[in-house]
Amino acid sequence: MRINPRQLQQSLNKGLAPVYVVSGDEPLLVQECCDSIRAAARNSGFSERELLHAEHNFDWGQLLASAGSMSLFAEKKVIEVRLPSGKPGDKGSKALQEFASLASDDLLLLLVLPKLDRSQLNSKWVKALEQNGVLLQIWPVDAQEMPRWIHQRLRAAGLDAEPEAIQILAERVEGNLLAASQEIEKLKLLSQDNLITAATMSDAVASSARYDVFGLIDRALAGDAENAVKTLHGLRAEGIEAPVVLWALAREIRSLLEIGEKLDQGQQLARLVRIQKRQPLIQSALARLRPRQLESLLLRARAVDTAIKGGKDQDPWTGLLELTLNLCGKRSI
């Protein structure tokens, strides 16, 4: 069964499926959907959870071994597999199909991966998992949908806002759902009578961190290494968490790869990048960074993610500095 995020809670209320495949490139929505699935599992007695990172050279035998082992103190188990590439390969495909045949009320698989293309959606392993569970597809919120999405989030937070106020925030976050969510949390403290006026929104936006993540991305795309590095140091000094910076950089790199591929197919930049002021920035970045270089930057981003999680003896901010310089077109020091 295929559903979207709006249908997830209703589906969970009807009962848990043995398999959930969460596919999408919007970190905030992916995280929230996974949180909802985990919470429902805990409420249903799934007291054990095992996390597997299926990266390069991952031993897919671990998945089946995990399915066959249960803690002495747990009767139900969640196995969460994160597949950053979205491509399990032949061994992974066979393992996932075999796991699908083991589906039961005591074992739940949560597979988290990027947006799946048409060929992946038609693959045997996706079909097998979908047949035994739920495929949750998460789509980006485009510029036209952003005001409505913000309004819905405000209402969910117990707030309302003037249309002009919503438009101000939509323009400020430029499609970054995580940033929009953070701004809404701050607005809870600023609202009077739970109504956000345009003036309140303008003040809130103006009081945001002087060194913001959006500024870092714009300067890196423009190849302005000196000011990009200053911005990165400013973000760290102001207490911005490293995962937020990494998310923004990795998201932009993936976007550049996708845009570059579509430009090569003959599509127009104006149709791919709706915000006009970003078009020259994207052009500048693609002029100096080839697809192979961008793919290499994604591997660097993955290494930074490992460092953030404590799995590598490296300061994450040093890795972010190198990634920023590379995105600017400069070699690492």
**Residue 164: inside a domain, yes or no?**
yes
Give pLDDT, residue 70.
Answer: 62
Give pLDDT, residue 246.
Answer: 93
- Which residue range forms the structural domain that includes residue 299? 213-327
The sheet that has 2-3: what strands, in order across it? 2-3, 134-138, 19-24, 107-113, 77-82, 48-53
The answer to whether residues 70 and 43 belong to one domain is yes
Maximum alpha-carbon separation in the chain: 59
For residues 234 and 211, is the Cβ–Cβ distance under 8 A?
yes
10-residue block means of pLDDT along the chain (333 residues)? 90 94 90 94 90 88 82 75 90 92 85 90 93 91 88 92 89 79 84 83 64 84 92 86 90 92 88 78 92 92 88 85 94 65
Report d(CA 165, CA 143) in Å as an integer: 16
**Residue 118: inside a domain, yes or no?**
yes
**Residue 302: inside a domain, yes or no?**
yes
- The enclosing domain of 66 has a CATH number of 3.40.50.300
Give pLDDT, residue 238.
Answer: 78
**Residue 279: inside a domain, yes or no?**
yes
Query: Dihedral angle at the C-alpha atoms of 164, 166, 171, 172, nearest 10 degrees?
Result: 120
Give pLDDT, residue 75.
Answer: 75
Give pLDDT, residue 333.
Answer: 55
Give pLDDT, residue 69.
Answer: 72
**Residue 97: inside a domain, yes or no?**
yes
Boundary (domain end) residue, out of 104, 138, 172:
138
Give pLDDT, residue 209.
Answer: 45
The answer to whether residues 64 and 116 belong to one domain is yes
Give pLDDT, residue 103.
Answer: 73
The answer to whether residues 254 and 176 belong to one domain is no
Per the structure, the count of domains in the chain is 3
The answer to whether residues 34 and 134 belong to one domain is yes
- pTM value is 0.61
Give pLDDT, residue 47.
Answer: 86
